[in-house]
Structure 1
Amino acid sequence: MICKVFVIYYQCSHDEKIIDVVYKVLKNLYDLLVQQEIALKHWDRYRYFECFIAIEWLYDLKQEDWLLQLAKILDEQGIQYAQMLEILKETRLTWNLDTHGVNVAMALKQEAVTYRLLSRPYQDIAEQIWQILEKYHGTAVGTFTCDECLSERSPIQGSELCSIVELMFSFEILFEKTKDSKWLDRLEKVTFNALPATLSEDLWTHQYDQMVNQIQCTPFQNRSIFKTNGNEAHLFGLEPNYGCCTANFNQGWPKYALSCFKRCDEGIIQASLAPCDLKTTIQGIAVHIQVETQYPFSSEIRYQITTDKDVSFSFFIYLPSWCKTILYNDKPIPNQSFLEISQTWKKATKFTLKLIDTPHLKPYDDCLYTLEYGPLVFALPLQTRFEKIEYIKDGVTRKFPYCDYYLYRESDYNYAFASHQFQIFTNLQTNNPFSFHHPGLRIQTQMQKIDWPYEKGFDSVCAKHPLSITPIDKVEIKQLFPYGCCKLRMTAMPLLQKTKKELQ
C-alpha cells in the first residue's frame, strides 16, 4: 500500500526517484515471497490487490517478467471476493475480516486492478458485489453500512469514514479501467453527500461512523447501536474511536480532483464534474482546458479550451444519469453517458452545459423516502448544540481545537413529507457551500409531525421506522439542506399516505 501511495504521488510530482524506490520495494517483496521468508496473512490477504496498482505501473515502465510472477504469487495467497458473494450478504455481530467494511470497499476494484496482469477476462465482478451491498446494506447516500463490519440496510446503522474514501477510490479506479459511466454516477453521489457530512467545515474534526438518520452524537448510555463498534464511534473529534480515519480521510478530495480528467485514445475525458483546470499536450501541442462551475450547487458548467496551434482531438464530458434535460450552448441534446465533441480546436473555444433536474422523492424502502436533486441528497437539518469535550488520552492533552464534541439536538426530528411540491433556493455566494449556516442550496416543502419514537433501549437514536405515518400536528413549511451540510439530520423519512396516493 505504501507503493500505491508513491505511484499516486508520482502522478502529481513526476519525481523520478519514485521509480527506483518502488522498484526496490517490489523486488524485495518478490524475493521474500519466492524464498518463502514471508507469506500473506491476516489483513494482507484481504488487501493484497492494492499492490497491483504499483506492479502494473512499474511493469508498463520496465516490462520485467518477475513483476508478473509477483502478481501471480500475491493473487494465489490472497482472498478472492468473487467466491465470497454469499458472505457479503451477512450481518455479523462479531468483528471479522470477511465483512470488514473497508476491506469490502477496497475489494470492489480487485478484479479491475488484477485482471490484466493475470491475463484474465474481465467479468465485472464489482457490479455483482455492488448489487449485494446495495440490497443488503445500502444507504440513501450511495454508501453501505459498516460499523465496523457490514451491518444491514438501515438508516440508523453507521458507515465508517475510511470506507467512504476507499469506496470513492474504488469507483475512480473502476471507471479508469472500464470507462463505464455507472461508476461515475456512484462516485459523485458518495463524494457530494457522504464525504462532507462526516467532516467538520474546518476539517479539524470528523466522525468515525455516520448515520443517515442521525439525531444526536453523544455516547450511547447502555449499549452501542453499532454492530461491532463501541458507544462513541459516532462522536466528532480529531481522532474519534480509532486513528485510521484521521490518517485516511485526507485522500478523499485530492483523489477526486485527480479523477476529473482522464486520457483516452481519442483525446480527453472529463470524468468528474467540478471546477477544474487541465494543462496538457496532445500531439505535441499545448492544450489548456478550463472548467468554471459551482456544480453540484449549480446546473451550469462553462468551458474554455485553448490551444497553442490547431489540433484535432475528441473531448468527452460525463453526463450523469439523473439528468432530465441537457442543454449544450442552450440547445437540448439527447440524454447519453458522455457528450463527445470531436473537432479541430483553434485558439480559444468556449461553450456551456446545463444539467437540469427537478427535486423528487426516491424510495429507500417500503416506508421511507429521500429527497434528491441532481447528485445531492437533501435532509431535514436539526438545530444543533456543540459541547466541547477536552480530556487527556495517552498522556496527550486534547484541548481545543484537538478536542472531541458532543452534538445535541435542539429541534424535533419526527417529520414526514406532506407534499410532493418543492421550491428551490440557491446561495452561490457562500464561501463553503457545505456550510450548515450558509448552504449552497435549500429546498422548501410541506412536512408534518408523526409518531416516531426512539429505538428501543436508546434515548438518542430514532427508531428505524416510525410507529405511524398518520400526522399528529398541523402542516409546517420546512427547509431541507444538502445532506453534506447537516451533522444532525433526518434523511430517510416517510411520505404521508394521502401524499403517497397523489404520487401514484
Structure 2
Amino acid sequence: MSLCPSSNLLPPMKSLFTLLTTLYSVSVVSAQNATGLAPLKFRSLPLGKIMPAGWLKDQLTVQTNGLAGHQHEFYRYVSQTNWLGGNVTYSDLQEAAPYWFNGLVPNAVLANSDALKKQTSYFLDYVLSHQGTDGWLGPEVNTTLPRILWARYPFLYGAIQMVEVDPSLTDRVVTAAYKFVKLANTMIKNKQGLDDWTNSRWHDFLIPMQWLYDNHPNGNEALLLETMNLLKAAGYPWDKIFSDQYFPKGPVDHISNPLGYGLMWHGVNVAMALKSSAAAYRVSHSQTDLDNASAAWDRLFQYHGRPSGIFAADEYLAGLDAVRGTELCLVVEAMFSGSYLYQVIGNPKYADRVERITYNALFATITGNMWSRQYLQQQNQIASKNMSPNPFPNDGAYSNVFGLDPNYPCCTVNFPQGFPKFISNAFVTTPDGASLVQVYLGPFNTNANLQNGNNVQVTVDTQYPFSDTFKTTLTASKAFTYYVRIPSWVTKGTISVNSGTTQPLSPSNGLQAVKVASGTTQIVLNLPADIKTEQRPNGSIAVQRGPLHYAFDIPRNQTILAQNAQQPLAVDLQFGATASWQYAIDPSTLRFDAGKPPATLPSPIYDSGKPTPSISVTACLISWPIAGDTFVSSPPTSPACTGSKSTIKLIPYGATKLRISEFPVFKST
C-alpha cells in the first residue's frame, strides 16, 4: 500500500484549510461591513440542472403517475375546473393551490412532463395576470375574502423555480414579486394580513425576498431589508420558542403554553421554523442566529426525534413514544428546512438527517404506487384504520388511514414537494462558484456551469441507499475540485480515482475532496456501514444501518374504504395485520444481508418485499397489549418469551406500511 495519497486526492488538511479559509474570509468581511445579506456557505443550482437517474428517476415517475401528477384533474381543492369556474374558497387559497404549485413545479421539470409543465405554466399565468392593481397576488383578487399573507410564500417559491428553468419569465415574475413586497411592507406596518399562520411562518417570505436581493435587487435593497426586519419583528420569536428554557421536553398535550403563541408547538410550523434563525442570520450577520439554528435542530430531535429521521407531532409536538404520529406535511417541510440550513451553515448534520428522512420517513407514509397517503405515520403501526380509541389527542381517528385526504387535505397537495426538492438540492457549488459539491447520495445526472466557463457534467451510478458502492463519472472543460459528502455513519469507506490505488476516505467537515482534471475522471466510492442500535423509551431499541432504518414488515390484508368518483385510483385503504407482530429481539444476533441486487431495482422500490438488503435477528413472541383493536401500547420492558425463538427479517422502514420498528429486547442465550 502506498503511503502517499493519489495525486487526485487533495491532502485532507490542505483541502480543509483552503475551503474554510475561503468561507471564513468571506464571512469576516461581511461581518465587518454588516450590510446587505450575509453570504451562503453553498449556493444551489438552478432547477433542472440536477436530474434523477436509476431508481430515483423511476420513483419520481411513480410519483408523477400517482396522486401528485393527477390531482389537478379531479381533486376539488386544486381542480382546474374549479379555478376556471371561480369555485374557490378561503381554504383553497390559503393552503391548497400554493402548496400544490410549489411542489408540482419541480416535479414537472425533473420528470420532464409536458402535461405537468402546462399546468404549472397555466397557474403562474393565471395568478400573475390577475394580480391586483395594489400588488396583491392570488386568484381571490377583487373578492371579499380576507387577505392573509402567508399563502403567497409557497407561490413565490414555485414562481422562483419557474424562473430558474425559463429565464424569459424573469421580468414578469420579478416585477410582480416587487409589487407584492411593496404591498406587504405597507400591510405589515398597518398590522394587516398577520394571522397566526403568517406570524409563525415569516421565514418562508424572507427566503424569496433574499432570492430577489441576491439575484434581482433592481435598486430595491432597502425595501427588501426593511420588509424582512418588519416581518420577523411581527412574527413568532422562534429563537425563544426553541430555547432550552421554553422548549417542551415531551408531549405537549397536558402542559401549559408558557409564551402564549397559539401555534408555536404545531408540528408543521416547527418543521418550517427550523430554518428561521438561518434566514434571520442572512439579515443580521449575527453568529447568535447560527448558534440558535443549530441548537434548535439538536433539541427538537433529542426530545421528539424518530429513528426514521423525522420528529413526532400529531398536530402538536408529541415526544418519543412509538405510537404517536408524524404528519406528512411535517416530513417534507423538515426536508426543505434541512437543505436550506446546510446551504446557509454548512454543517453536515443537516444533510445527514435530510437524507435519512427522505429514504425512510417520506416513503413510509405513502403507498407504493403513491396514490394514497397517510396524514400521520407511526414507528410502531399495527393497523391502518379508523381507530377507536384514538391515540392522537389532537387529530382524528382516521389519521393513519392511507387515502386521498385523511384528516386534512393539506398533505395531499403539499407532499409532492418533498422528493423533487430533495433531488434539486442534491448538488451545490461553493460560494466562489469554482467547485461542485454532491450533498445527497443517490443516482443523479448533473450539469453545472462553474467559474470561468468551466462546464461540468456528473453521472452518479449507484443503487444507494440499497447499495454501498458508487461509480461517478465527471467530464470537465477545466480542472477543479469536486467534493462529495461522506455521511457520518460510514465506516472504513474507500475511494479510488481513475482506477488508481484504493485509499481510505479522509473527509473534512463531512466532505471528501477530489482533484478533477479537464476531460473525464472516474471516481469509485465504497461507503459501508455497521449495524447500529438506537436506545428508545421503555428499554426498546431501533435498528439502523447506513441511511436506512429497519423494521419488521407486518403481513397485512387490505380493504377499500372509499373510492373517488372521478378517479378510481384514488382510494382510502384499511390495512390489518394477518400475522403475529409481538416480537422481542436479541440485538446481539443482528446480521446484515446485502442480498443479490438486480441490475435494475424493482419498481416501485418502496413497497413490501422490494428492497434487496435486509437484517436478520433472533426473536421471540411476547405478551404485548394493544389498545382496543387498533394500536399497540408502548414496548414492554424486559419481557419474557411466550414461545420458542425464531429468526425474523427486518427490511427498510420506508417499504413497510404496517410495522414494528422499536422493539423490546431479550437475551437468546
Q: Would the TM-score normalized by the shorter structure come out above 0.5? A: yes
- The total of aligned residue pairs comes to 488
CA displacement, residues 302-355 of structure 1 (integer Å, 9 cap, x when unaligned): 111112x3x132111000000011110233223551101134x22111111010
Inter-partner Cα distance in structure 2 for 1:436 and 1:13: 40
Over 3 Å counting, the alpha-carbon distance change for 1:232 and 1:300 in structure 2 is same
Once the two structures are TM-superposed, the CA of residue 474 in structure 1 deviates from its matched residue by: 1.2
Quote the residue 1:4 is aligned against: 157
* AA in 2 matched with 1:347: G
Once the two structures are TM-superposed, the CA of residue 132 in structure 1 deviates from its matched residue by: 2.5
Once the two structures are TM-superposed, the CA of residue 390 in structure 1 deviates from its matched residue by: 2.1
1:290 paired with 2:459, answer yes
Quote the residue 1:381 is aligned against: 553
Inter-partner Cα distance in structure 2 for 1:335 and 1:58: 34
Inter-partner Cα distance in structure 2 for 1:76 and 1:202: 44
* AA in 2 matched with 1:342: K
Which of 225, 231, 249 is the matching residue for 1:74? Answer: 231
Report the secondary structure of 1:408's partner residue: strand
1:130 paired with 2:280, answer no
* AA in 2 matched with 1:5: G
Inter-partner Cα distance in structure 2 for 1:291 and 1:423: 25
Which of 340, 343, 359 is the matching residue for 2:513? Answer: 340
Quote the residue 1:173 is aligned against: 340
Once the two structures are TM-superposed, the CA of residue 494 in structure 1 deviates from its matched residue by: 1.9
Quote the residue 1:369 is aligned against: 541
Once the two structures are TM-superposed, the CA of residue 26 in structure 1 deviates from its matched residue by: 1.5
1:476 paired with 2:646, answer yes
Inter-partner Cα distance in structure 1 for 2:158 and 2:594: 41
* AA in 1 matched with 2:267: G
Inter-partner Cα distance in structure 2 for 1:357 and 1:172: 23
* AA in 1 matched with 2:210: E
Alpha-carbon contact 1:451-1:468 (below 8 Å) kept: no
1:45 paired with 2:199, answer yes
The structure in which a higher percent of residues are helix is: 2
* AA in 2 matched with 1:28: L
Inter-partner Cα distance in structure 1 for 2:615 and 2:648: 8
Once the two structures are TM-superposed, the CA of residue 383 in structure 1 deviates from its matched residue by: 0.3
Once the two structures are TM-superposed, the CA of residue 398 in structure 1 deviates from its matched residue by: 7.2
Report the secondary structure of 2:589's partner residue: coil
The equivalences for 1:34-113 within 5 A come to: 34=189, 36=190, 38-60=192-214, 61-62=216-217, 63-64=219-220, 65-84=222-241, 85=243, 86-89=246-249, 91-93=251-253, 96-113=262-279
Alpha-carbon contact 1:213-1:490 (below 8 Å) kept: yes
Once the two structures are TM-superposed, the CA of residue 162 in structure 1 deviates from its matched residue by: 0.3
Once the two structures are TM-superposed, the CA of residue 498 in structure 1 deviates from its matched residue by: 5.3
Which of 144, 147, 150 is the matching residue for 2:314? Answer: 147
* AA in 2 matched with 1:33: I
Name whichever of 369-378 and 382-391 sits farther off. 382-391
Once the two structures are TM-superposed, the CA of residue 12 in structure 1 deviates from its matched residue by: 3.7
* AA in 1 matched with 2:227: L
1:242 paired with 2:408, answer yes
Quote the residue 1:280 is aligned against: 448
* AA in 2 matched with 1:75: K
Which of 580, 583, 588 is the matching residue for 1:412? Answer: 580
Alpha-carbon contact 1:188-1:272 (below 8 Å) kept: yes
Inter-partner Cα distance in structure 1 for 2:340 and 2:239: 18
Once the two structures are TM-superposed, the CA of residue 365 in structure 1 deviates from its matched residue by: 3.4
Over 3 Å counting, the alpha-carbon distance change for 1:398 and 1:404 in structure 2 is farther
Over 3 Å counting, the alpha-carbon distance change for 1:217 and 1:245 in structure 2 is same
Alpha-carbon contact 2:538-2:636 (below 8 Å) kept: no
Quote the residue 1:464 is aligned against: 634
Inter-partner Cα distance in structure 1 for 2:513 and 2:578: 50
Alpha-carbon contact 2:507-2:513 (below 8 Å) kept: no
Which of 397, 408, 425 is the matching residue for 1:259? Answer: 425
Name whichever of 464-473 and 193-202 sits farther off. 464-473
Alpha-carbon contact 2:301-2:311 (below 8 Å) kept: yes
Quote the residue 1:210 is aligned against: 377
Quote the residue 2:130 is aligned against: none
CA RMSD of aligned residues (A): 2.0
Over 3 Å counting, the alpha-carbon distance change for 1:324 and 1:385 in structure 2 is same
1:182 paired with 2:339, answer no
Quote the residue 2:365 is aligned against: 198
Alpha-carbon contact 1:377-1:482 (below 8 Å) kept: yes
Alpha-carbon contact 1:430-1:440 (below 8 Å) kept: no
* AA in 1 matched with 2:467: S
Once the two structures are TM-superposed, the CA of residue 260 in structure 1 deviates from its matched residue by: 0.8
The structure in which a higher percent of residues are strand is: 1
Quote the residue 1:303 is aligned against: 472
Inter-partner Cα distance in structure 2 for 1:451 and 1:135: 29
Over 3 Å counting, the alpha-carbon distance change for 1:461 and 1:151 in structure 2 is same
* AA in 2 matched with 1:475: K
Over 3 Å counting, the alpha-carbon distance change for 1:12 and 1:442 in structure 2 is farther
Inter-partner Cα distance in structure 2 for 1:20 and 1:155: 49
Inter-partner Cα distance in structure 1 for 2:195 and 2:590: 55
Inter-partner Cα distance in structure 2 for 1:435 and 1:100: 30
Alpha-carbon contact 1:325-1:335 (below 8 Å) kept: no
Once the two structures are TM-superposed, the CA of residue 13 in structure 1 deviates from its matched residue by: 3.6
Alpha-carbon contact 2:310-2:361 (below 8 Å) kept: yes
Once the two structures are TM-superposed, the CA of residue 388 in structure 1 deviates from its matched residue by: 0.5
Report the secondary structure of 2:574's partner residue: strand
Aligned residues: percent identity? Answer: 27
Once the two structures are TM-superposed, the CA of residue 449 in structure 1 deviates from its matched residue by: 1.2
1:488 paired with 2:658, answer yes
Quote the residue 1:502 is aligned against: none
Alpha-carbon contact 1:415-1:450 (below 8 Å) kept: yes
Once the two structures are TM-superposed, the CA of residue 366 in structure 1 deviates from its matched residue by: 5.0
Over 3 Å counting, the alpha-carbon distance change for 1:489 and 1:398 in structure 2 is farther
Which of 173, 184, 189 is the matching residue for 1:29? Answer: 184
Report the secondary structure of 1:321's partner residue: coil
* AA in 2 matched with 1:11: E
CA displacement, residues 167-217 of structure 1 (integer Å, 9 cap, x when unaligned): 000100000101110101111111100001001111110000000000001
Over 3 Å counting, the alpha-carbon distance change for 1:399 and 1:290 in structure 2 is closer
Inter-partner Cα distance in structure 2 for 1:271 and 1:161: 23
1:230 paired with 2:396, answer yes
Once the two structures are TM-superposed, the CA of residue 219 in structure 1 deviates from its matched residue by: 1.1
Name whichever of 37-46 and 269-278 sits farther off. 37-46
Report the secondary structure of 1:353's partner residue: strand
Larger RCO, structures 1/2 (Cα 8 Å, 6+ apart): 2
Report the secondary structure of 2:445's partner residue: strand
Inter-partner Cα distance in structure 1 for 2:234 and 2:419: 33
Once the two structures are TM-superposed, the CA of residue 10 in structure 1 deviates from its matched residue by: 2.7
* AA in 2 matched with 1:351: I
Alpha-carbon contact 2:538-2:635 (below 8 Å) kept: no
Instruction: Give the gaps of 5 or more residues in structure 2.
Output: 1-152, 497-501
Alpha-carbon contact 1:324-1:357 (below 8 Å) kept: yes
Inter-partner Cα distance in structure 2 for 1:115 and 1:373: 35
Inter-partner Cα distance in structure 2 for 1:116 and 1:423: 44
Instruction: Give the gaps of 5 or more residues in structure 1.
Output: 500-504
Once the two structures are TM-superposed, the CA of residue 119 in structure 1 deviates from its matched residue by: 4.0
Which of 577, 586, 591 is the matching residue for 1:422? Answer: 591
Report the secondary structure of 1:348's partner residue: strand
Inter-partner Cα distance in structure 2 for 1:224 and 1:472: 28
Please report the TM-score for the alignment, with normalisation by the length of structure 2. 0.70
Inter-partner Cα distance in structure 2 for 1:485 and 1:423: 17
Alpha-carbon contact 1:59-1:67 (below 8 Å) kept: yes
Which of 18, 22, 35 is the matching residue for 2:173? Answer: 18
Inter-partner Cα distance in structure 1 for 2:175 and 2:445: 30
Quote the residue 1:354 is aligned against: 526
Inter-partner Cα distance in structure 1 for 2:506 and 2:618: 34
